[in-house]
Structure formats: C-alpha cells, structure tokens
Amino acid sequence: MLVANRGEIALRVIRACHDLGLRAIAVYSDVDRDALHVRAADAAYPIGAAAPRDSYLNAARIIEVAKRARCDAIHPGYGFLSENADFAQAVVDAGLVFVGPPARVQRLLGEKTAARRLARHVDVPVAEGTEPLRDVAAARAAANEIGYPVLLKPAGGGGGKGMRVVGRDQDFDAAWRGATGEATAAFGAPALYLERQIARARHIEMQILADGQGKVVWLGERDCSIQRRHQKLIEESPGPSVSENLRAKLGAAAVRIAERAGYVNAGTVEFLVDANGEFNFLEVNTRLQVEHPVTEVVTGLDVVALQLRIAGGEPLPFAQEEIVRRGAAIECRITAEDPLAGFTPASGLVALVREPAGPGIRIDSALFSGMAVPSEYDSLLAKVIAWGSDREEAIGRMRRALEEMRVAGIPTSLPFHRAALFDQEFITGRYDTEFVARWAARKTADLSDGTAAAAALAAVLAQRSRTERRALARADDPWSRAGREDALR
C-alpha cells in the first residue's frame, strides 16, 4: 500500500496497514525527509520539492513510485489528492486500487451544486441557493433575491477554502474577488455558487461506510461547529444538541444520498442544523475525515482498516442494527497557529514536545522534538482525542490532557483549546459555528490598557524564549543534549 500523504494521517494509515499485515510505502517531499511517517513505513521514496504541486499533488510521480515499489493500492489520506477524481481514475488505469470512492462518485458529489440536486432528488432538505454563477453581477442579483446574509462557496472543493460570508450588498465585490482567487488557487477552478446563511447554525456531519455490494451504514454524527475560517478546531460525538430522533433522520438522509450516488468506501455527509432542530444538506466529503478518530473511539470500529478491507472487495462485516455507540468523545485539533493573533499560521522549529497520556486519551500526531514545521502545508500538528463514559467525563479528561501537553518553539492553538474547554457555551453544549468569533471578541475586550501592555511584554519575552530554544535545539554538543533530555523529563 502506498500512502500518498504526510504527517499524522500518513502515520495513521501506515499503522492500519501494519495491523492488517500489509507493507506500507511512504512518499516524502524534501522538507519531510526526517518525518515520522517516513520512519514508520517499510520503505519511503522522495517525490520532489516542498511545494505541494511538486510533490504531494504530483499525481504522475506518485503513481510512478507506486508501480516502482510494486504496490497494489494507493491510500490518499485527506487533503491533497484525496478528492481528485482524475487521480482516482489514473490510479485505476495504472492497474492499482484506489482506497476511496471511485472517480464517478467523486465527480458526482465533488461538484457541490450537483450534490445539492442529488440530495433534493432523495427528499433531503437543502438550503436555498443557486447553481454555479457566471459573474459578479449575476451573483449580486441572486444574493438580493435570496436575502442577506449569504455564503459564497466554491462549486468544487471543500475544507472551508474559498468561502466568504457576505452580510450586505456593498461588501459583495470584495467578497467575490477574494472567494474567486482563493478557489482558483486551492482547486484550480473559480466557479462559485450562493447559499443562504443559516443563523446560529450547528455543523453536524454523519460518518458513512459503503461496501461494493451496495450495503450502506451510518456510524453516528459528529458536531464540528467550533471552527475558524470555516475549518474545524473541536469535534465531538455524540453531538450535545442531537436527539435520538434527529440522529436517526440524519443517518437515514445520509444513507439515501450515498445509495443514490452508488457510494463505495468511507465518506461523510454534512448538514447544517438550525436553532429549531431543522436540518439542511451541506455537502459530501468523499474521503476520510480529519476527525474520524472521534467516531472510532465511540463505536470501537477502525474506520481506516474498514476502508482497506472494502477496497479489497470485502463486504461490511456488520449491519446497521449491530453498530453500538458507547460514551462520548471529543477531539481537539492542535495547529501551528497563534489563536491570540487571529489564528495566524506559524512555521519554525519545534524545540520540545510532551504529549499527554492516561485513561481515555488517544493522540494522533507526527510531532517530535527538533522537527521543522514547514510553511507549505496545512497547520495541523496533532489531534488529541478524549473518551469518557459520558460527556462530562470526556471533558474532564480532555482538560487534563491539554494541560499535560507541551509544544515549545512555535505558537500553537493549545491556549484556545484550554480556554474553550472551560467556556460556558461549550460546557453547556449550546455553541454554534460563531463560537470562535464570540470567543475572540471576548478576548479582545478583556485587553484593557494595562493588560494589553502586559500582553505585549509577554509576547516579546516569548519571542526571545523561542529564539533561545531554537539556538539550543540547533546545538549538538553533549551539554545541549543533556539539557534537552532533562527538559523532556
């Protein structure tokens, strides 16, 4: 199995391969030569420079390596080529197995307006919106007809890239330019469509699995409402606002969409749920999700191993009524970002890592002390997952894990996560997709003149401290090594 990805997800797939007795082949860019996924694999091949287009997005080179390494299949992970229908088809044309939905399914569901039409055909509610728009004038006319606020969204692609909320007509031109530019850069196509924004919405997604014999099941929902720039920071299952009745409706809707599309392998059907509990279809992610561990620890199922088995032609080994969900789980995505500076991405050298452990804690991570965090890729560093017999226990374990965790040398999202787990909105489970914006506003309001000065001083000292730690990490004399080992203790 060739794993066409990097970081924690590459390591996660490699481990699943080893669990099943499969040889795992890694690929790496120039800056990932020392990465953990490279060390964990049975063999590893260089594929180019750090820029994604020269390495992890270079489909021809990845397939060439797979054939040279005598692989049978390719697992794309998430991001990069995972939702590229042309890549999926090229893998099959090369005589290899693509671990994921086939190209025809990706083409059908990857174009968001086509997926919305499919959802309507199977009686799944869809928010008011448009087909792909030809120009800004047509888009503005549609926005005035739907009524502000609206969402500008790329017709192809996901992950929150290229999305813009437009609250009034005078902001439309700037939002259109920004969304078009970002969509073109991220997905190679500028096509946008409009969707009515649902106020105080919750972002709920349903994990599905489908085998090649036509059986489709849903494993349970994840609440992914806590997000910045439409990208998720915290996910949990079960959703604190999701009743058994709503869960069953979401599961049934997800299965109808998957069956109509002829879905095979793992996927996620996403919905927005309003304050009254009414839901609307959002999109289908035709890949493994970053937050799949939340579902794994609640169900006891290995989603990646099931992906591999389905790709090998095996039927699903259980029926819908045999899936049992137990307890509650929370995932915090630890990113290389400064939450007190608008979640600005960071890069640099990780001087020290100390990961948490103990009852109910799982860490999906590719972090190690001394690693370089490049600027070319997504800022995700690690995922901390806490399981408890109920939500209260899961929150307590996550708080403890976040306090134990240390990542020195670069800014991370840990301060945000530590604060969020004590926020009353989160504790009561009454949060929505605007949680981070409200949190940021509260933090800004808290900075009086005195505290702002103290914060500025702390930032200067922290920067000096980071510089000193980088210098220490670069040194390789016995005293420096002994110091680092003492710090790890």
- Please report whether residue 237 resides in a domain: yes
Answer yes or no: do 416 and 319 share one domain.
Answer: yes
Answer yes or no: do 288 and 354 share one domain.
Answer: yes
The answer to whether the CB of 190 falls within 8 A of the CB of 177 is no
The count of domains in the chain is 4
Whether 256 is catalytic is no
In sequence order, what are the beta bridge partners of 112? none
pLDDT greater than 70 at residue 15: yes
List pLDDT tens digits, range 149-206. Answer: 998 888 876 666 778 889 999 889 898 988 888 877 766 667 888 988 888 899 999 9
Mean pLDDT, the chain, rounded, equals 90
Q: What are 300's two structure tokens? A: 């006891």
Question: Tell me, what's the pLDDT at 218?
Answer: 98
- Please report whether residue 111 resides in a domain: no
Answer yes or no: do 49 and 134 share one domain.
Answer: no
H-assigned helices in 238-361: 244-261, 292-299, 303-311
Answer yes or no: do 40 and 145 share one domain.
Answer: no
Q: What are 397's two structure tokens? A: 């374990």
Cα–Cα distance for residue pair 56/316, rounded to 1 Å: 31
Answer yes or no: do 183 and 215 share one domain.
Answer: no
Question: Tell me, what's the pLDDT at 292?
Answer: 98
- For residues 479 and 1, which has the higher predicted lDDT (pLDDT)? 1
- For residues 233 and 139, which has the higher predicted lDDT (pLDDT)? 233
pLDDT greater than 50 at residue 472: no
Answer yes or no: do 226 and 264 share one domain.
Answer: yes
Range of the domain at 470: 446-488
Q: What are 363's two structure tokens? A: 């860490």
List pLDDT tens digits, range 76-85. Answer: 999 999 999 9
- Please report whether residue 115 resides in a domain: no
Question: Tell me, what's the pLDDT at 448?
Answer: 38
Give the CATH number, domain containing residue 260: 3.30.470.20
pLDDT greater than 50 at residue 397: yes
- Please report whether residue 475 resides in a domain: yes
- Please report whether residue 122 resides in a domain: no
List pLDDT tens digits, range 246-293. Answer: 999 999 999 999 999 999 999 999 999 999 999 999 999 999 999 999
- Please report whether residue 7 resides in a domain: yes
Question: Tell me, what's the pLDDT at 188?
Answer: 66
Answer yes or no: do 290 and 402 share one domain.
Answer: yes
- Please report whether residue 255 resides in a domain: yes
Confidence label for 362 from pLDDT (cuts 50, 70 and 90):
very high
Percentage of the residues of the chain whose pLDDT score is greater than 70:
89
List pLDDT tens digits, range 339-360. Answer: 999 999 999 999 999 999 999 9
Answer yes or no: do 210 and 313 share one domain.
Answer: yes
The answer to whether the CB of 179 falls within 8 A of the CB of 162 is yes
**pTM metric for this prediction:** 0.87
Phi/psi for 356 (5° steps) reads -75, 165
Nearest-Å Rg of the Cα atoms of the chain is: 22
Distances (CA, A) of 165 to 20, 177, 232: 45, 13, 16
Answer yes or no: do 149 and 224 share one domain.
Answer: no
Q: How many CA atoms lie within 13 A of 331 on its CB side?
A: 31
- Please report whether residue 384 resides in a domain: yes
pLDDT greater than 80 at residue 461: no
From the candidates 287, 391, 397, 469, give the one annotated as an active-site residue: 287
Give which of 401, 364, 358 is closest to 383, Cα–Cα: 364
Answer yes or no: do 171 and 254 share one domain.
Answer: no
Question: Tell me, what's the pLDDT at 153?
Answer: 87
Give which of 355, 377, 391 is closest to 79, Cα–Cα: 377
List pLDDT tens digits, range 106-145. Answer: 999 988 889 999 999 999 999 888 888 878 889 899 899 9
Q: What is the mean pLDDT of residues 311-328?
A: 98
Distances (CA, A) of 188 to 59, 79, 84, 139: 15, 14, 11, 20
Answer yes or no: do 413 and 475 share one domain.
Answer: no
Question: Tell me, what's the pLDDT at 187?
Answer: 67
Confidence label for 450 from pLDDT (cuts 50, 70 and 90):
very low
pLDDT greater than 50 at residue 464: no
Cα–Cα distance for residue pair 305/296, rounded to 1 Å: 11
